Amino acid sequence: MATSREDVRIERDSLGEVEVPASALWGASTQRAIANFPVSGERMPLRLIHALALVKAAAATANRELGVLDEPRARAIEQAAREVAEGLHDAQFVVEVFQTGSGTSTNMNANEVIARLAEQRLGPGAGGVHPNDHVNRSQSSNDVMPTALHVAARLAIRDELLPALARLHACLLRKAAAYDDVVKIGRTHLMDATPLRFSQEIGGWARQIELGMARTRAASEALVELALGGTAVGTGLNRPAGFPERAIAHLARATGLVFREAGDRFEAQAARDAAVEASGALRTLAVSLFKIASDVRLLASGPRCGLGELRLPALQPGSSIMPGKVNPVICESVTQVAAQVVGHDAAIAVAGLSGQLELNAFLPLIARNLLESIRLLANVSNLFVERCLEGLEVDRERAGALVERSLALVTALVPAIGYDAAARIAKRCSETGKTVREVCLEQRVLPREELERLLDPRAQTEPDAAR
């Protein structure tokens, strides 16, 4: 560091001098990245920054215990890194998402900010704290950034996504139980099919979310292995023996999550397969949410000229030209998020298959998309519960009327009268507009008592029960 003016200070690195804003905590490397990547204006996710800081704190502790970093500097780095992890310096992380593929610019942003904060703690005459020699000791971007990605994603899944999905699952189970007494018409190919209960339809949605939670937990487990300790290419050059074990143990304690060393550091740095796997699970969850929200939207269509079996909360006027129109806006938000997550997954897949030799140089894109998918799915799941499903109601009268009018009721007569005779009854109903019950009574197809038993909609939803 050299002389400074009122608004800037001069920082030096291996390429020469760089002007840095006087108030900034970052240094030359970060400033060069700001100039080099004016692409989207989107910064790296704060979830990743906070996880990276946790890694830096754990690394400093391990370095101190192994005697490769002196006590005062190590303690100062640990404390500074924890401040960053707590979000106290978020404004200092300014590097663009679409940057160098290893994430080196973000790693150096963290190294420089933590170094300056640690220097401030040590005070003058303490010898200073160097971003590379001290904060980045025993690390490289190539192992520390994949590590931070796994830590960030597992924390986000645990703290945001799984609680949101549990809430959604519980809400669907409550709604299923509340409407177990309501029989409705089933639909396949969007055409009338045999009856079922609302509890069965909604229960199917609940099961999708239950399975989605299991897949999400499995996705998190795929991220348990960490690349930390592999340094540049996986050989562990320039880090002391025992460093990864110690650092990962400290990281596990700090997060409350299980982490372990990668089974093969060369795989852990050359490939991002675990992130691709996790993204695939999120894509499947997005597909489930799209299905559920689309079903709710269809069943609530109308309200008078559509299916109209569900009533949704009226949240806002739905049209700038049609008074009284209210749209299923939350369902539409859910489906848009699902589409975006599928897009994120496609980009992650391309990034995953684009790794070359000892490094996958798409880490920033993977981190951005994976963490954004987790965030969006968590937020929209909470929204779906709060603004739609909690206030969802079944129109019992409408559901019952549609069941009675359906031609599909004739299916229950097939074992008694045969398929062809049942088909003739359905055709007659279609020609006259009469119900299956009315035509059967007119034609005296079966004794009234047997007919009523077979055409009982509730009984048709319980094929395994004694009939």
Residues 276 and 425 in one domain: no
Residues 319 and 453 in one domain: no
Q: What is the mean pLDDT of residues 360-381?
A: 98
Confidence (pLDDT) at 47: 97
Over residues 276-330, the pLDDT tens digits come to 999 999 999 999 999 999 999 999 999 889 999 999 998 878 777 888 788 899 9
Residues 62 and 42 in one domain: yes
Confidence (pLDDT) at 1: 41
Residues 364 and 284 in one domain: yes
Residues 329 and 279 in one domain: yes
pLDDT at 464 exceeding the cut of 80: no
| Rounded Cα–Cα distance for residues 263 and 278 (Å) | 18
| Rounded Cα–Cα distance for residues 364 and 152 (Å) | 13
Residues in a beta bridge with 357? none
**Residue 373 among the catalytic residues:** no
Confidence (pLDDT) at 14: 87
Q: What are the CA-CA distances from residue 231 to residues 203, 263, 380 (Å)?
A: 49, 15, 38
Please report, as a single letter, which amino acid is at residue 201.
Answer: E
pLDDT at 241 exceeding the cut of 90: yes
| Rounded Cα–Cα distance for residues 179 and 175 (Å) | 6
Among 189, 220, 294, 333, the one annotated catalytic: 189
Q: Is 387 within the bounds of a domain?
A: yes
Confidence (pLDDT) at 52: 98
Residues 35 and 72 in one domain: yes
| Rounded Cα–Cα distance for residues 326 and 177 (Å) | 27
Confidence (pLDDT) at 317: 83
Minimal CA–CA distance to 110: which of 138, 74, 82? Answer: 82
* Run of H or E including 195: strand 191-197
pLDDT bin (cut points 50, 70, 90) of residue 107 is very high
Confidence (pLDDT) at 467: 45
Confidence (pLDDT) at 465: 53
Confidence (pLDDT) at 93: 98
CB atoms within 10 A of CB 63: 26
Where in the sequence is the domain holding 127, given as residue range(s)? 8-137
Residues 392 and 418 in one domain: no
Residues 85 and 175 in one domain: no
Q: What is the mean pLDDT of residues 387-416?
A: 95
Over residues 71-86, the pLDDT tens digits come to 999 999 999 999 999 9
**Residue 233, SS3 per DSSP:** coil
Q: Is 68 left (phi over 0), alpha (psi -120 to 50) or beta?
A: alpha
Among 319, 320, 381, 406, the one annotated catalytic: 319
Q: Is 431 within the bounds of a domain?
A: yes
Confidence (pLDDT) at 2: 46
Is residue 281 within 8 Å of 216, Cβ to Cβ? yes
> pTM of the predicted model, to two decimals?
0.94
Residues 374 and 420 in one domain: no
Place of tokens 């290419």: 233
Residues 391 and 428 in one domain: no
Torsions phi, psi for 445 (to 5 deg) = -65, -40
Which is more confident, 5 or 373?
373
How confident is the prediction for the chain on average, in pLDDT? 95
| Rounded Cα–Cα distance for residues 110 and 129 (Å) | 13
Q: What is the mean pLDDT of residues 408-420?
A: 95
| Rounded Cα–Cα distance for residues 181 and 199 (Å) | 8
Percent of the chain with pLDDT over 90: 92
Over residues 136-154, the pLDDT tens digits come to 999 999 999 999 999 999 9
Q: Is 242 within the bounds of a domain?
A: no
Residues 295 and 168 in one domain: yes
Confidence (pLDDT) at 69: 97
Q: How many domains does the chain have?
A: 3
Q: Is 175 left (phi over 0), alpha (psi -120 to 50) or beta?
A: alpha
pLDDT bin (cut points 50, 70, 90) of residue 466 is very low
Q: Which of 125-129, 142-146, 199-203, 404-408 has the lowest mean pLDDT?
A: 125-129
Written as six digits, the tokens of 104 are: 């080196």
Torsions phi, psi for 152 (to 5 deg) = -60, -45
**Residue 134 among the catalytic residues:** no
Q: What is the mean pLDDT of residues 225-235?
A: 97
